[in-house]
Amino acid sequence: MPDAVAHGDQQQFVTIAKVVRPQGRRGEVAAALFTDFPERFEQRRTLYAWFGAGERRELQLEEFWAHKGDMILKFAGVDSIDDAEQLSGAEIQIPRNERAELEEGAVYVSDLVGCAAFVVSDDGLREIGTVADVDFGAGAAPLLVVRDGDPKRGGKEYLIPFVEAFTSRLALQEKRIELKLPDGMLELDAPLSAEEKQAQQRGDKGE
């Protein structure tokens, strides 16, 4: 799973880790890795903390080491538990042009954002929406956040594990991904649309 995508208008940056908690008394933080190249922290000394809502902070990495599946990061000027708490939840990013070169056949998850998503079935292909984001916090595999319109206006949102077993065809140049999913998976993963919620409420009231 190479470097991941940031959000919204952050097309010039990619996320390589996410701070999950303070670690230690000198301002260290524990971060979940979203990159297959942790050794590159040795060269990546200037990093950026993304807090959302347009807020990004430049950081200078002083030390790093692996610990129980996480990466421990120590930044200059972050010298206490209180300082470290301010970084909790922040995405640690690098400029997009600093991504590592990939082996043939590998793919950056960030390149999936914006792809049209199709489901392969016996009846052919059915477009279900566009990959709007990639979620790394829900399990072992990242989740493709596929949206069919705006969920707030009644559109669907699907969370689909990005694993080889579900990927039938990946055509990044065409901004297209074709998925072969287990029967019923979309119905289980999709939250109710606004119309469905209203219908459910009417049903609860006996209307």
Determine the Cα–Cα distance for residues 35 and 1; give it in Å rounded to an integer: 6
Determine the Cα–Cα distance for residues 190 and 135; give it in Å rounded to an integer: 15
Q: What percent of the chain has pLDDT over 70?
A: 77
Q: Which domains does the chain have, with CATH numbers?
A: 4-98 (2.40.30.60), 111-192 (2.30.30.240)
Which pLDDT band holds residue 11 (cuts at 50, 70, 90)? low
**pLDDT tens across 126-173, in order?**
999 999 888 866 666 788 999 997 766 668 899 999 888 999 999 988
Q: What is the pTM of this model?
A: 0.59
Strands 156-161, 167-171: pairing kind: unpaired
Q: In which element (H, E) is residue 204 found?
A: helix 194-204
| Sign, CA torsion 102/106/110/111 | positive
User: Could you give the dihedral angle defined by the CA atoms of residues 62, 20, 88 and 50, in that order, rounded to the nearest 10 degrees?
Assistant: 70
Burial (CB < 10 A; 0-12, 13-18, 19+), residue 167, is middle
Nearest to 24 by CA among 100, 62, 81: 81
Strands 116-121, 176-179: pairing kind: parallel
Q: In which element (H, E) is residue 121 found?
A: strand 116-121
Which has more pLDDT, 152 or 21?
21
pLDDT confidence of residue 149: 79
Q: Which tokens go with 190?
A: 């999709």
